[in-house]
Structure 1
Amino acid sequence: MTSSPPEPLAYDRSGNGEPLVLVHPLGADRGMWDPVIGLLGGNHDTIAVDMPGFGESPELPEEVPATAGAIAASIEATLDSLGIDRAHVVGNSLGGWVALEFAKSDRCLSVTTLCAAGFWGRPLGPRPEIARSTARRLVPALRPLLATKRGRGLLLRGPVAHPERVPAEAAYRLVRAYALAPGFDRANAEMRRTLFSGFEEISVPITMAWAEYDRSVSAPAQVPTRVRAEFLADCGHIPTWDDPQRVAEVILATAARAAQDAEVQRSA
């Protein structure tokens, strides 16, 4: 049996310049990039996608494991549908792992990861998603609960260092996506089964940023020396609401470094 070709993903697109793709974490959707979109659009044609089975994107076919590599192939299909040859790519958590997989292709200009998944010491293995079960039960009451700072503090203190900075509607969208995304279980199972490998297959500039108050992942003990490390002070696992200015700064600096490298190569 042959697998179906990847389908294009749902996306929001804005701005002008070199294309830049934004990939959200497991259990979120493209809305988590909203705080930084306006800071990037002056330099880039910014495309925030929903991963397969999240937000408005269809799930991957049943015969296709929901690996980071398969999700990266869906990004390529999205670029094809938009007539885009190459793009910078940025990802948070599982989205960071996806970004690194995409960067193995010749269609990537640079890669920036925020709190990337896939760098734990050994495969994590399965575990019950108790927090997600709780979130599903709370869905009918989410909107009034998240309208209060106390409610946002209760439900967002895991992924965000400053829940009070997340607008009520954005908090509702984030928690609802976590609770109800049909693609969550498949992507989570694949993510927990393996580790990232293949830095040697990436030739473009790489920046990996790590957050001070990340409760989900930590920086690996060792990465190639050419990988630029950045520190996101006073930020949590999803840092875009904690400090959008700093996140945008890291992304723009990586893309600018790629442009400088390309200019040097043209001049050589």
Structure 2
Amino acid sequence: MTEEVSFTIDTPLGSRATSVTYRRRGTGEPLLLLHGIGHHLQVWDPVFDLLAADRDVIAIDLPGFGTSPGLPDGVSYSLSTVVPVLGALCEALGIQRPHVAGNSLGGLLALELGREKLVRSVTALSPAGFWTPAERRYAFTVLQTMRHVAKVLPPPAVERMSRTTVGRTALTSMIYARPGRRSPEAVVAETAALRIAPGFEQTLAAGRNVLFTQDVPGVPVTVAWGSKDRLLPRRQGVRAKLAVPGARLVRLPGCGHVPMNDDPALVTRVILDGSRTIGDVAPRSAIQLV
């Protein structure tokens, strides 16, 4: 079950009310989960309960995605705006400096939250922002194509395609290495989320000049990359390590751009390892460096 929290944010136009949809479960230290562009909180379903066994897990629909409404009129979707919104969200939920794990756009936001010292630790799964201009243009073209397909395909056609492995592959192979593992219901839901997301275009436009080049000192950082990422090639992980030299760089064998569905157990271990309190013993047996 999801819930909605409303809170006030500061904007150039003054204070404005906004709200975010979230799902919360588990006990322990708080862990905030951030999805990628065009997705929704359900992308974390394969690992949500596994993480909730050790953490107070909060998965959210980012503003303008899933069932969270868009940001107020006149408010941009730039990092300088969305990061403070996430800080205000945490305050509204009563959590102080949570651990954060994010995928793609969510990974970039997680790193920015770490740079602003708003979180205890960062786990970034194939984060955006470490691309060359050509790699960014390629990724944005793929995303725009996926959005177009989601908008023009009639929902009954999506439902029919989702019932077969071939159909699920056609719809999701750019983000999953093992699309056949995704359930038909999940594919239908995430295609609908991509189709209706009011924040998609503005978020994509805001990312055209984004390049993450600053370190994240004083915060434990893990950067993990799928070995079969077809959207953001894993060589970008090496650039991430150069930008954040203290980060732990991890390879996710056999995983695509959205690895939670491809290998839930491995992704869970990486996130739990990256969000452990200093002094805890971390289970490193499943961790392989790039």
Q: One fold, TM greater than 0.5? A: yes
Q: Which residue of 2 aligns with 1:133?
A: 148
Q: In 2, Cα distance between the equivalents of 1:56 and 1:197?
A: 32
8 Å Cα contact 1:139-1:179 kept in structure 2 = no
Q: Does the CA contact (< 8 Å) of 2:214 and 2:243 recur in 1?
A: no
SS of the residue aligned with 1:64? coil
Instruction: Measure how far apart 1:6 and its partner are.
Output: 6.7
Q: Which residue of 2 aligns with 1:7?
A: 18
**Structure 2 residue 215 is the aligned partner of structure 1 residue 199:** yes
Q: 1:139 to 1:17 in 2, by over 3 A?
A: farther
- Distance in structure 1 (CA, Å) of the matches to 2:186 and 2:129: 27
Within the alignment, does 1:54 sit opposite 2:50 as a pair? no
Secondary structure of 2:279's match? helix
Q: CA deviation at 1:232?
A: 0.5
Count of residue pairs the alignment pairs up: 259
State the 1:91 CA deviation.
0.4
2:212–2:243: 8 Å Cα contact kept in structure 1? Answer: no
Rounded Cα–Cα distance in structure 2 between residues aligned with 1:8 and 1:73: 14
Q: 1:95-141 deviations in whole A, cap 9, x for unaligned? A: 00011111123331100000000111248467592332122111422
The alignment partner of 2:176 has SS state of coil
Aligned to 1:224: 244
Unaligned stretches of 5+ residues in structure 1 = 262-268
> Per-residue deviation at 1:8?
4.1
Instruction: Report the Cα distance in structure 2 between the residues aligned to 1:99 and 1:183, rounded to whole angstroms.
Output: 18
Structure with the greater relative contact order (CA < 8 A, sep ≥ 6): 1 or 2? 1
Distance 1:167 1:235, change over 3 A: same
Q: Distance in 2 between matches of 1:149 and 1:48?
A: 27
- Give me the whole-angstrom Cα distance separating, in 2, the residues matched to 1:203 and 1:3: 32
Using structure 2 for the length normalisation, give the TM-score: 0.84
On the 8 A contact 1:118/1:195 being kept in 2, the answer is yes
Question: Is contact 2:22–2:41 with CA below 8 Å preserved after alignment?
Answer: yes
Gaps in structure 2 of 5+ consecutive residues: 1-11, 281-290
Structure-2 residue corresponding to 1:259: 278
Matched, 1:215 2:230: yes
Residue in structure 2 matched with residue 80 of structure 1 by the alignment: 91
Percent same amino acid among aligned pairs?
38
Contact 2:103–2:258, Cα closer than 8 Å, also in 1: yes
Partner deviation per Cα, 1:187-244 (whole Å, 9 max, x = no partner): 11111222123324x4210000011111111324323321100000000001111001
Aligned to 2:125: 114
In structure 2, how many angstroms separate the alpha carbons of the residues matched to 1:58 and 1:115? 26
Q: Is the 8 A contact 1:7 1:77 kept in 2?
A: no
Q: 1:3, CA displacement in angstroms?
A: 3.9
